[in-house]
Chain A
Amino acid sequence: MKRHHTAAVAALACTALVLTGCGQGDDTGSSGLEACLTDPAGCNSGSRADGGEITWALDGSWGTWNQNTSEGNNAYVSMALVGLWPYTGQFDPEGEFIVNEGIFASAPELVKEDPVTVEYTLKNGANWGDGTDIGVDDFIYHWYATSGDSSLCDGCDAANITRGSQVESITGDGSAITVTYKESYHSAEWAYEEVLSEPAHVAEAQGFDWANNPKDMAAAEQYFAETVPTWSTGPFEIQDAKAGEYVIYVPNEDWAGDTEVTLDKVTFRVIDGLQNIVTALRNGEIDGASPFSVTAETITQLQGAEGLEYAVAGGPSWEHIDLNTKSEFLSDPVLRQAVFTAIDVENVIDRTYAYVQSDIERKGNHLFRNGSEYYQDHLSATGQGTGDVELALSMLQEEGYELKDGVLRDPDGEVVELDFRYSESKENRRVTGELVQANLADIGIEVELRSIPDADLGTVLGEGEFDMIDFGWSSDPVFVASASQYWETGSGSNFGGLSDPELDALIAEVNGTLDLDEAAVRANAAVQQVVQDAYSLPIVDTPVAVMVSDRLVNVRDNWASQQRSAYNIAEWGVAAE
Chain B
Amino acid sequence: MVVFIIRRTLLMIPVLLGATILCFVLVDVVNDPVQDMVFEIQQSTGEPVPQSTVDALEESLYYDRSIPERYWIWLTGMGDTNGDIGLLKGEWGPSIEGSAMDIGYEISTRFWITLRLVLFATLASIGIAILSGVVSAVKQYSRTDYTLTFLGFLFLAMPVFWLGSLFKEGAVQLNKILGSTVFQTYGSGSTGFQGNGWEVFVDSLPYLIVPTLVLMLGGYAAISRYQRASMLEVMNSDYVRLARAKGVRNRTVMRRHALRTALIPVATFAPLALSGAMGGAMVTESIFGWRGLGVYSLDAIRAGDTFVVMAYVLISGLVVLIGVLISDILYGVLDPRIRYE
Contact = CB atoms under 8 A, between A and B. Distances in A.
A227 B99 CA distance: 9
Contacts of B41: 70, 73-74, 159-160
Contact of A64 (B40, B100, B303): B100
Contact of B56 (A70, A273, A453, A492): A70
B43 interface: yes
Contact of A226 (B33, B99, B286, B295): B99
B186 A279 contact: yes
B60 interface: yes
Of A269, A273, A453, A458, which is in contact with the most chain B CB atoms at under 10 Å from its CB?
A: A458
Contact of B48 (A75, A453, A493): A493
Nearest to A306: B176
B97 A244 contact: yes
Interface string B174-211: 01000001011111000110000000000000000000
B105 to A, nearest CB: 10
A228 B98 CA distance: 13
Interface stretch (A176-184, A478-486, A497-505): A478-486
Contacts of A363: none
Of A225, A243, A273, which is in contact with the most chain B CB atoms at under 10 Å from its CB?
A: A243
Given A63-B98, A64-B101, A458-B39, 14 more contacts: A69-B99, A71-B57, A156-B56, A157-B60, A161-B52, A244-B101, A245-B291, A246-B192, A248-B192, A269-B187, A280-B185, A455-B36, A456-B30, A493-B48
B142 interface: no
A240 B36 CA distance: 31
B43 A158 contact: no
B36 A458 contact: yes
A106 interface: no
Contacts of A280: 185-186
A491 interface: yes
Interface in A137-167: 148, 150, 155-162, 165
A430 B295 CA distance: 26
B31 A456 contact: yes
A271 B41 CA distance: 23
A457 interface: yes
A160 B45 contact: yes
Interface in A428-480: 453-459, 461-462, 472-474, 476, 478
Contacts, number: 184
A482 B169 CA distance: 44
Contacts of A476: 46
B99 A222 contact: yes
B185 A462 contact: no
Contacts of B50: 148, 158, 161, 165
Contacts of B45: 73, 159-160, 162
Interface in B32-59: 32-33, 35-50, 52-53, 56-57
Given A226-B100, A248-B192, A492-B49, A455 B304 contact: yes
29 contacts: A61-B97, A62-B97, A63-B97, A64-B97, A72-B98, A73-B41, A75-B44, A156-B56, A158-B50, A160-B41, A162-B47, A225-B99, A228-B100, A246-B192, A248-B192, A267-B192, A271-B186, A272-B295, A276-B186, A282-B172, A283-B181, A285-B185, A458-B37, A458-B40, A459-B36, A474-B46, A476-B46, A481-B47, A485-B48
Interface string B85-99: 000000000011111
Interface of B: 30-33, 35-50, 52-53, 56-57, 60, 95-101, 165, 168-169, 171-172, 175, 181, 183-187, 191-192, 286-287, 289, 291, 295, 302-304
Which 6 A-B residue pairings sit nearest by Cβ, starting from the closest?
Answer: A63-B98, A458-B39, A63-B97, A64-B98, A157-B56, A458-B36
A55 interface: yes
Contact of A63 (B57, B99, B287, B289): B99
A226 B36 CA distance: 22
Contact of A283 (B40, B165, B172): B172
A147 to B, nearest CB: 10
A284 interface: yes
A55 B289 contact: no
A572 interface: no
A165 B51 CA distance: 13
A455 B303 contact: yes
B50 to A, nearest CB: 5
Contacts of B303: 455
A55 B191 contact: yes
Contacts of B302: 453-455
B43 A461 contact: no
Interface in A303-340: 317
